[in-house]
């Protein structure tokens, strides 16, 4: 049943796009007085059809294209004297150019209509509520906290996280004023973004990066030895659920909850602790809820509890690994690597990945205090769930694995666009995508975009199925992208494509004579060969995938 449904979405996708393309040729040909003999969606044997006026309309068996058959569109085709003036080749070059251009033009205009309906009305999207602030990034130095809602960047209002990201394009290396809402109070914060260069085969974008994300983190504590948190009974990896009976869903709510209390105030903490239990050879974690009281400390967030983030505390050390042989144990905290202070486990993983088997100096803190050792990653035998064995280079340590229930969904905001705003946004996004598509096609010719990215019917079938599963907006977005792709591709001056016919009409309009028949015949053979090679490449890539 699912296979039939996916096939239906695939046929719908192709059918609509082919109809739009051929409708462009058809309507403009009619407007120019050219006789249209047949309008076909699909190739091959006719499935259904009817004749109205002088035109036969049909749906054919193979839904991989379509065509508009016009009278007199072949050089040696004979027409009756009364219809000779209505033949395609009998038209002046400018009319033939318009008819040819109409198909790709409709494919480029149609996405504006699609995006208009996608953007029109209310939509839920990720807001500018800061869920997480990356350690060591400019946002930390500027004092931005989880739970702050960013309202504007350098005077530019932002409502969604995409707006926020776009606002930092070209803004880096200088102080940028950011207005945030913190607990109902507006504050202006100066932050100096780092420069980030995002390079792809399509484009290179330079933007500022301050280190905030909408994905919030659960308030999971790391407990240093001798700290007020340890003295109160907290353990590393306890998750704070409430402060003085006020629910705490994430670090942002924790910041807000502790900020209401002056230093020295007793704070009643409700925490969830996962104790490891063993049942035979199987181990698991059993949750239990506990309560502790700790005096409010100086600082914000976890620091106000006398604790710190748990990100650099090690949840497990693999038996027989380089880490275990060096004396590293679960619960130890990593401090630095090769003299570079670490701010998060991801930073450690990136450094280890780059070092491979090269020795490095690691500083960590355990029960006996800080230790410094010279280490090197070593092959660590592993076996996945399918029984496949491997031995990748690894240090053999893991951070705390957050459960899905520990990750609150990002905050969302409703954005409502009226007809005017929806049309404006649609009219702006389509030219941008066209420009990106042109760069991709150019990259295929010069080699900066790999040929393995070319896809055919199987890839399109998979994309149609997947986008349909994700919802109507995703399916319409895919339809718009493929329509733009068809429009741009058809404008290429390759024989048998619309672009070559447009070039021929322009040539005749300028030179006052058509391209020689022999040149046209050779060009058509070369163009057909190129298209066959492209189709073979696309199908080969599809099968390989």
Mean pLDDT of 153-167: 91
- 6/208: higher pLDDT: 208
Alpha-carbon gap, residue 165 to 205, rounded angstroms = 12
Residue 62: both structure tokens together: 């193979």
Cα 169 to chain centroid distance, Å, stands at 18
The strand pairing partners of 337, in sequence order, are 340, 362
What pLDDT is stored for residue 5 in this prediction? 66
Alpha-helical segments (H) within 120-237: 138-142, 161-167, 228-232
476, 468 in Cβ contact below 8 A? no
Which residue shows structure tokens 């209401």?
Answer: 260
Residue 265's pLDDT band (cuts 50, 70, 90): very high
Q: Please pick, among 22, 82, 263, 300, the residue that the annotation labels catalytic.
A: 22
Burial 115-153 (b: 16+ CB within 10 A, else e): bbebbbeeeeebbbbbbbbbbebbbbebebbbbbbbbbb
245: left (phi over 0), alpha (psi -120 to 50) or beta: left
pLDDT tens for each residue of 372-408: 999 999 988 877 655 567 788 889 999 887 776 777 7
Instruction: Output the CA–CA distances (angstroms, integers) from residue 199 to 196, 204, 265, 286, in the order listed.
Output: 10, 4, 50, 45
Mean pLDDT of 444-452: 65
Mean of all residue pLDDT scores within the chain = 84
User: Residue 461: pLDDT above 60?
Assistant: no
Taking residue 162's Cβ as centre, other Cβ atoms within 10 Å add up to 13
Alpha-carbon gap, residue 541 to 545, rounded angstroms = 6
Is 22 an annotated catalytic residue? Answer: yes
pLDDT tens for each residue of 530-541: 667 767 766 676
DSSP 8-class letter at 256 = H
Element (H, E) at 194: strand 194-199
User: Residue 124: pLDDT above 80?
Assistant: yes
Alpha-carbon gap, residue 143 to 189, rounded angstroms = 8
pTM of the full predicted structure? 0.63
What pLDDT is stored for residue 227 in this prediction? 94
What pLDDT is stored for residue 351 in this prediction? 86
pLDDT tens for each residue of 186-227: 999 999 998 877 665 556 678 888 988 888 888 899 999 999
- 11/478: higher pLDDT: 478
Alpha-carbon gap, residue 253 to 319, rounded angstroms = 38
222, 310 in Cβ contact below 8 A? yes
CB neighbours of 119 closer than 8 A, spacing ≥ 6? Answer: 417, 421, 422, 425, 426
The pairing of strands 239-243 and 266-279 is: antiparallel
């Amino acid at each position: 049943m699912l296979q039939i449904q996916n096939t239906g979405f695939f046929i719908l996708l192709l059918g609509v796009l082919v109809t739009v393309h051929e409708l462009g040729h058809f309507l403009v040909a009619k407007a120019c007085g050219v006789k249209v003999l047949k309008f076909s969606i699909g190739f091959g044997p006719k499935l259904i059809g009817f004749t109205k006026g002088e035109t036969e309309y049909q749906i054919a068996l193979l839904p991989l294209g379509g065509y508009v058959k016009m009278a007199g569109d072949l050089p040696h085709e004979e027409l009756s004297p009364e219809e000779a003036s209505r033949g395609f080749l009998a038209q002046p070059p400018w009319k033939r150019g318009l008819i040819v251009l109409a198909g790709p033009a409709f494919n480029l205009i149609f996405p504006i209509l699609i995006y208009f309906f996608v953007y029109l009305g209310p939509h839920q999207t990720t807001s500018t509520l800061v869920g997480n602030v990356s350690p060591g990034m400019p946002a930390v130095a500027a004092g931005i906290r989880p739970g702050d809602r960013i309202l504007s960047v350098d005077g530019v209002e932002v409502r969604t996280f995409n707006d926020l990201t776009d606002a930092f394009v070209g803004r880096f290396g200088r102080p940028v004023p950011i207005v945030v809402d913190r607990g109902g109070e507006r504050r202006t914060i100066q932050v100096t973004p780092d420069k980030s260069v995002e390079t792809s085969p399509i484009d290179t974008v330079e933007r500022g990066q301050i280190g905030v994300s909408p994905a919030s983190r659960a308030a999971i504590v790391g407990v240093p030895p001798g700290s007020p948190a340890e003295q109160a009974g907290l353990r590393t990896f306890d998750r704070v659920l409430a402060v003085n009976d006020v629910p705490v869903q994430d670090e942002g709510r924790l910041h807000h909850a502790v900020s209401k209390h002056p230093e020295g105030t007793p704070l009643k903490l409700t925490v969830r602790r996962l104790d490891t239990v063993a049942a035979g050879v199987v181990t698991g974690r059993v949750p239990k809820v506990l309560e502790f009281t700790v005096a409010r400390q100086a600082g914000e967030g976890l620091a106000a509890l006398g604790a710190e983030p748990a990100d650099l505390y090690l949840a497990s050390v693999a038996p027989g690994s380089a880490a275990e042989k060096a004396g590293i144990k679960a619960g130890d905290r990593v401090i630095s690597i090769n003299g570079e202070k670490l701010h998060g486990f991801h930073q450690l993983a990136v450094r280890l990945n780059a070092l491979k088997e090269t020795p490095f100096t690691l500083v960590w803190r355990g029960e006996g205090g800080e230790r410094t050792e010279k280490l090197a990653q070593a092959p660590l035998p592993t076996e996945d769930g399918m029984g496949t064995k491997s031995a990748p280079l690894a240090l053999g340590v893991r951070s705390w694995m957050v459960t899905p229930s520990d990750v609150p969904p990002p905050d969302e905001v409703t954005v409502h666009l009226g007809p005017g705003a929806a049309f404006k946004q649609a009219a702006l996004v389509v030219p941008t995508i066209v420009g990106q598509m042109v760069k991709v096609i150019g990259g295929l010719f010069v080699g900066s975009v790999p040929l393995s990215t070319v896809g055919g019917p199987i890839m399109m079938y998979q994309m149609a199925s997947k986008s349909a599963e994700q919802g109507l907006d995703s399916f319409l977005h895919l339809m718009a992208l493929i329509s733009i792709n068809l429009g741009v591709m058809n404008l290429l001056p390759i024989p048998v494509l619309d672009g070559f016919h447009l070039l021929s009409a322009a040539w005749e309009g300028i030179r006052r004579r058509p391209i020689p028949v022999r040149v046209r015949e050779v060009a058509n053979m070369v163009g057909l060969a190129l298209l066959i090679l492209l189709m073979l490449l696309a199908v080969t890539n599809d099968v390989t995938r």
